């Protein structure tokens, strides 16, 4: 067959339907701070007034108002991670939580559309658990240094090198990596999941510091990878000790993605949800959260009488998600998260095994 024959006879390739094709696009609403918008968002402002000055609320309120109206019109649920900014966390999220809570909640939402306010691996996790639903992420470039640290090919090489050793992978990884995994974990269940295997050696990847922190809490031999969270790796034990020296009553609570030397000087360590619960239950007069900046801002309004000391570090990936981009997601049905079904089938097993574990 000649080249000419091929091009004349070939049918034009069918373009896959996009979410915009399936659901249609909507017209951009007026974004004006009218008396009606002020009235209907007043209760939401009360949740963020410690963080957003009153003079700035007229900029936020029209977005909050439009997003809350359009998500109902579209039949969409907004899932937000604890590191999202207060106006997202308190004013538009239907569900907010740590990585494990979001994965669990993703299996329970009734809506056909999920808008993931978090980073890309979180949106992929929601999609894996809801292949029949439309999952959108307002900025597809919202990545993660841990997720970027390892590929599926890396995991295949590790398995060749350590045959038979169970692979426990942090959820902060791509679907391609999860597909090579026995079971996923988050910072709140990593120890329990590693302990659930009979093997006395476990590959706990790709977060080196999380794995080192797990190793301190189990007798198993923990092998790992050199991935780090670019936010938590910046904290040092020296800076925290300086705070303790200045005020010995301060309570320091840290995320297990920090180096073990940092965790060693913390009064408590746990996932973002664990940290929030600690502060809510114990109400320490002064507390320092060794984690992403928005955490303290998000819980400040819910714990009267607790003073937050904030040497926080910002996650540039989480901060890509903004109200204007969330509004665009709802209007134009972007960016849709799609996963190759062959990868998804294997990756889902690893996530489901974690979600179904009782811890
Ligand atoms: P958790 O909310 O599960 O503690 O995860 C923290 C984190 O860094 C997510 O990217
Ligand atoms: Fe990734 Fe760290 Fe940002 Fe979480 S805080 S998304 S682990 S870079």
Residue-wise pLDDT tens digits, 313-343: 999 999 999 999 999 999 999 999 999 999 9
Ligand with the closest atom to the CA of 207: 2
**Does the beta carbon of 315 sit less than 6 angstroms from any atom of ligand 2?**
yes
pLDDT in tens, 215-247: 999 999 999 999 999 999 999 999 999 999 999
**pLDDT for 8 beyond 60:** no
Q: Which atom number of ligand 1 is nearest to the Cα of residue 257?
A: 8
Q: Tell me if 231 CB under 6 Å of ligand 2.
A: yes
CB 333 within 8 A of CB 136: yes
The residue contributing the CA closest to ligand 2 atom 1 is: 144
Ligand 2 neighbour 120 (Cβ under 6 A) = no
* Most informative mutation of 116, 142, 229, 272 for ligand 1 (most atoms within 8 A of CB): 272
359 band by pLDDT with thresholds 50, 70 and 90:
low
Give kind and range of the element (H or E) at residue 353.
helix 341-355
Q: Is the pLDDT of residue 4 over 90?
A: no
The structural domains of the chain, ordered by start, are 19-142+319-332 (3.40.50.10800), 146-228 (3.40.50.10800), 232-314 (3.40.50.10800)
Q: What is the pTM of this model?
A: 0.93
Chain centre distance of CA 115: 12
Q: How far apart are CA 1 and CA 7, in angstroms?
A: 10
Q: Which atom of ligand 2 is nearest to the CA of 142?
A: 6
For residue 330 the two structure tokens come to: 């709802």
Ligand 1 closest atom vs CA 270: 4
What is the torsional sign of CA 209, 210, 216, 220? negative
Phi, psi of 113 (to 5 degrees): -120, 130
C-alpha of residue 225 to centroid of ligand 2, in Å: 16
C-alpha 242/C-alpha 239 separation (Å) is: 5
Task: Tell whether the model's pLDDT for residue 347 goes beyond 80.
Answer: yes
Question: What whole-number distance in Å separates Cα of residue 261 and Cα of residue 239?
Answer: 11
DSSP 15-73: PPPPHHHHH---PPPP----HHHHHHHHHHHHHHTTTS-GGGHHHHHHHHHHHHHHHHH
Q: Does the Cβ of 111 fall within 6 Å of ligand 2?
A: no
Q: How far apart are CA 160 and CA 175, in angstroms?
A: 20
Quickly count: other Cβ atoms within 10 Å of residue 221's Cβ.
Answer: 11
What confidence score (pLDDT) does residue 358 get? 72
Dist CA 350 CA 193 (whole Å): 12
3-state secondary structure of 173: coil
Give residues (CB < 6 A) around ligand 1: 82, 98-100, 172, 186-187, 229, 257, 271-272
Task: Return the best residue to mutate from 81, 119, 148, 210 for the ligand 2 pocket (most ligand atoms within 8 A of CB).
Answer: 119
Q: Which is nearest to 262 in space by CA: 281, 236, 231, 284?
A: 236
Query: Which residue is closest in CA terms to ligand 1's atom 10?
Result: 172
In the numeric block, the tokens 């696009």 are attached to 25
Residue identifier of the C-alpha nearest atom 6 of ligand 2: 144
Residues 6+ apart with CB under 8 A from 246: none
Q: What angle do CA 339, 162, 172 make, to 5 degrees?
A: 35
- Per-residue confidence band for 1, with pLDDT thresholds at 50, 70 and 90: very low
Tokens (6 digits) for 313: 């570090």
The pLDDT of residue 6: 45
> What number does the ligand 2 atom closest to the CA of 315 have?
3
Q: Euclidean distance between the first and final Cα of the chain, in Å? A: 61
Which residues fall within 8 angstroms of residue 272, CB to CB, at 6 or more apart? 81, 82, 83, 98, 99, 187, 255, 291, 292, 295
pLDDT (tens digit per residue) in 50-105:
999 999 999 999 999 999 999 999 999 999 999 999 999 999 999 999 998 998 89
Q: What is the pLDDT of residues 281-305, one digit of tens each?
A: 999 999 999 999 999 999 998 898 9
């Amino acid at each position: 067959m000649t080249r000419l024959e091929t091009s004349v006879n070939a049918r034009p390739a069918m373009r896959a339907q996009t979410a915009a094709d399936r659901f249609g696009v909507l017209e951009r609403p007026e974004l004006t701070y009218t008396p009606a918008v002020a009235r209907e968002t007043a209760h939401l402002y009360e949740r963020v007034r410690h963080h957003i000055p009153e003079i700035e609320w007229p900029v936020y309120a029209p977005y909050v108002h439009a997003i809350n109206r359009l998500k109902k019109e579209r039949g969409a649920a907004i899932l937000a991670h604890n590191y999202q900014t207060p106006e997202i966390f308190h004013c538009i999220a239907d569900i907010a939580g740590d990585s494990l809570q979001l994965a669990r909640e993703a299996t329970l939402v009734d809506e056909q559309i999920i808008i993931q306010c978090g980073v890309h691996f979180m949106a992929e996790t929601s999609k894996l658990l809801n292949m029949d639903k439309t999952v959108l992420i307002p900025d597809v470039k919202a990545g993660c240094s841990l997720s970027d640290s390892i590929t599926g090919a890396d995991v295949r090489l590790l398995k060749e090198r350590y045959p038979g050793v169970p692979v426990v992978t942090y959820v902060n990884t791509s679907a391609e990596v999860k597909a090579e995994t026995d079971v996923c974990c988050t910072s709140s269940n990593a120890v329990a999941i590693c302990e659930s295997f009979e093997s006395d050696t476990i590959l706990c990847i790709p977060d080196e510091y999380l794995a080192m922190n797990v190793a301190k809490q189990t007798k198993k031999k923990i092998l790992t990878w050199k991935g780090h969270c670019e936010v938590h790796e910046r904290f040092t034990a020296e800076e925290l000790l300086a705070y303790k020296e200045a005020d010995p009553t301060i309570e320091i609570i840290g995320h297990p993605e920090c180096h073990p030397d940092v965790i060693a000087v913390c009064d408590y360590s746990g996932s973002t949800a664990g940290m929030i619960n600690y502060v809510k239950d114990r109400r320490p007069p002064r507390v320092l959260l060794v984690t992403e900046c928005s955490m303290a801002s998000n819980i400040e309004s819910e714990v009267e009488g607790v003073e937050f000391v904030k040497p926080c570090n910002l996650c540039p990936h989480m901060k890509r998600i903004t109200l204007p981009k969330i509004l665009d997601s709802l209007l134009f049905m972007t960016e849709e998260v799609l996963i190759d079904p062959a990868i998804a089938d294997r990756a889902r097993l690893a996530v489901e095994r974690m979600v179904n574990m009782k811890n």
